[in-house]
């Protein structure tokens, strides 16, 4: 794609912040920071669905990932400066209008993501048994953890204790419960299919092919 080739050029990938800036400036004043629903939270929805498609695009073409790796430290610098600028504006130290704050916030969000991806794809480019287990568990745990948070929160929030105790109890109980459910899910092909995991036969075939090569 010509667009991908253009964005892979030095500095061009920063142009992807423009749609995010426009979304922030036009929709945040209307919907604010939202409550994460599809009816009255179009600012968050449009912002994050745009980033979602950026990510899909990123993994489809290696040229974009190479550009992110090449500019990883520049991205980190821009992200840090943009975050600092946003903080100074929001705290009133630098008196600039709201749209400028929203623009810096969008730039910081994109550049932090790209910096983490660029650095992580190089220094974390390895695997082991723990990472393999965690990689498979990501989607099922993400799906079921919402249920644990809601149910536990309903019963734990009224406790007559500190917020810290409530937070850590809900966090650790949610993690333990989600992993316990995952242990059930991973053992049966029916549940593996429902939660987006590879079937056992396919995993064995892939492992055999890897060993044969």
Rounded Cα distance between 67 and 166, Å, is 43
Q: How confident is the model at residue 66 (pLDDT cuts 50, 70, 90)?
A: confident
pLDDT at 7: 75
Kindly list the distances between the CA atom of residue 143 and the CA atoms of 48, 132, 198, in Å, as whole numbers in the listed order. Answer: 18, 18, 16
- Its pTM stands at 0.70
Segment 126-133 mean pLDDT: 84
A 10 A CB-CB count for 67 gives 22
Instruction: Say yes or no: 70 and 141 in one domain.
Output: no
Instruction: Say yes or no: 36 and 109 in one domain.
Output: yes
Which range of 12-16, 77-81, 202-206 scores highest in mean pLDDT? It is 77-81
pLDDT(92) > 90 = no
Tell me which of 64, 95, 123 is where a domain ends.
Answer: 123
pLDDT(67) > 60 = yes
Do the beta carbons of residue 177 and residue 153 sit within 8 Å? no
> Percentage of the chain with pLDDT > 90?
47
Instruction: Say yes or no: 24 and 100 in one domain.
Output: yes
A 10 A CB-CB count for 42 gives 16
Instruction: Say yes or no: 64 and 140 in one domain.
Output: no
pLDDT(81) > 80 = yes
Instruction: Say yes or no: 83 and 139 in one domain.
Output: no
Instruction: Say yes or no: 145 and 104 in one domain.
Output: no
Instruction: Say yes or no: 8 and 103 in one domain.
Output: yes
How many distinct structural domains can be found in the chain? 2
Return mean pLDDT, the chain. 87
Instruction: Say yes or no: 90 and 52 in one domain.
Output: yes
HEC per residue, the chain: CHHHHHHCCCCHHHHHHHHHHHHHHHHHHHHCCCCCCCCCCHHHHHHHHHHHHHHHHHHHCHHHHHHHHHCHHHHHHHHHHHHHHHHHHHCCCCCCCHHHHHHHHHHHHHHHHHHHHHHHHHHCCCCCHHHHHHHHHHHHHHHHHHHHHHHHHHHHCCCCCCHHHHHHHHHHHHHHHHHHHHHHHCCCHHHHHHCCCCCHHHHHHHHHHHHHC
Domain boundaries, position 143 = 129-212
pLDDT at 144: 92
pLDDT one-digit tens code per residue, 164-210: 999 999 999 999 999 999 999 998 989 998 888 888 766 555 555 55
Instruction: Say yes or no: 69 and 146 in one domain.
Output: no
């Amino acid at each position: 794609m010509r667009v991908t080739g253009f964005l892979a050029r030095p500095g061009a990938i920063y142009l992807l912040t423009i749609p995010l800036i426009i979304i922030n400036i036009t929709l945040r004043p209307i919907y604010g920071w939202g409550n994460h629903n599809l009816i009255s939270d179009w600012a968050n929805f449009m912002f994050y669905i745009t980033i979602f498609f950026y990510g899909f695009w990123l993994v489809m073409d290696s040229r974009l990932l190479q550009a992110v790796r090449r500019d990883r430290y520049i991205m980190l610098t821009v992200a840090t400066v943009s975050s600092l600028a946003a903080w100074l504006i929001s705290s009133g130290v630098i008196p600039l209008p709201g749209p400028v704050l929203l623009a810096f916030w969008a730039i910081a969000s994109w550049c932090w993501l790209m910096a983490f991806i660029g650095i992580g794809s190089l220094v974390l480019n390895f695997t082991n048994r723990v990472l393999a287990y965690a990689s498979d568990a990501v989607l099922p745990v993400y799906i079921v953890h919402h249920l644990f948070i809601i149910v536990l929160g309903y019963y734990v929030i009224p406790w007559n204790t500190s917020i810290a105790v409530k937070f850590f109890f809900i966090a650790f109980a949610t993690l333990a419960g989600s992993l316990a459910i995952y242990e059930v899910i991973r053992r049966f092909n029916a549940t593996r299919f429902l939660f987006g995991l590879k079937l056992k036969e396919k995993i064995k075939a892939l492992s055999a092919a890897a060993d044969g090569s």
